[in-house]
Amino acid sequence: MTGVVSGMNDKGLTVTLNAAKSDIPTASATPVSLVAREILQYASNISEAYAIAKKRKTFVAESFLIGSASDKRAAVIEKSASDIALYETQEDWLIDTNHYLSEKMGTTELNQEHIKTSASVYRYDRVKELMANKKLNVNRTISILRDQKGLRDCNIGFGNEKAVNQLVAHHAIVFQPEKRIVWVSTSPYQLGKFVAYNLNKIFSGVKKDNSEVYDSLLTIPEDHFMFTKNFTDYTKYFKYRFPFQPRTGIQPDSLVKWNPVLYHSYVLAGNEEYDRGAYARAARFFSEALKKEIPTTQEKEYILKRLKSCEIRME
């Protein structure tokens, strides 16, 4: 991995990457992480960041969320392989998940399909719900990044794609551009301490020793969820979360016990029973999964297809 996924420069310009729905690439071009790096290296405001993004051809769809101390605002550069747009808002807040927001890019057929079939809009609405009537500070912002609930604080299971914190991300980050301070989460996911770095100090001189450069007085403590039985159970479930991870010897009922509200626990349990030829038990798990909060149309269609296959094999 080369380049930048999130960062801030000495001018107080920030950039983060949020993937959007792409067509299948047919040729190589500039990786978005290198576009982000170039923005941090050469831009000092939103206009300069947009000019850099506009001149580079990329092969995937991406939203570059730009914060600017000099502009005292934020904006989103929406870029695809063939087009680009700058999204701004008159509100005193801006939310960006994984779909385009501008009139130019947001109305494309691909983006509209993504809005209908993905969990991106649900997460957008959840963030908006959490921000309602609240003045954000660092602690409140971090609490949003750590949120695992659905709309109206509904329990949708640990690791659900509709949650802001899906218990899978590499890192979370909070910027204060005008103060040149950045908080970066430590593992696991967004649950560990958020460690603060004062870029004014870091950029002010040459470091001569091998000591830490973070500001320990600004550290935000771990999420208490890390110390609960639910988290311990989730770590057991996580070993089997993805298709490429072996499920040899796992008991289907254990998958459900470790994460009983999440639809995917029942899908994994159903698949395990299906592979063993226990189609009646598999069907019960798939049926139960359909009663849960399923994040995408594709996943719901998959469950329905598996359930139909069970019914055919039981005839």
User: Mind listing the domains of the chain with CATH numbers?
Assistant: 1-102 (no CATH), 119-224 (no CATH), 229-314 (1.25.40)
Helices (H), 148-278: 199-204, 229-238, 252-258, 263-275
Q: What is the mean pLDDT of each run of 10 residues along the chain (315 residues)?
A: 88 95 80 96 98 94 97 97 94 94 95 96 97 91 97 98 95 95 95 96 79 91 97 94 70 94 96 94 98 97 98 92
What pLDDT score was predicted for residue 315?
A: 81
Q: What is the pLDDT of residue 241?
A: 87
CA gap 189, 253 in Å, rounded: 26
Model confidence pTM above 0.85: yes
pLDDT value of residue 141: 96
Q: What does DSSP assign to residue 45?
A: S
Look up tokens 């592979």; give the residue.
Answer: 275
Percent helix, strand, coil in the chain, to 5, is 40, 15, 45
266, 247 Cβ separation under 8 angstroms: no
Give me the residue label for tokens 């311990």: 232
Q: What is the DSSP letter of 48?
A: H
Q: What is the four-CA torsion angle of 177, 94, 62, 35, rounded to 10 degrees?
A: -20
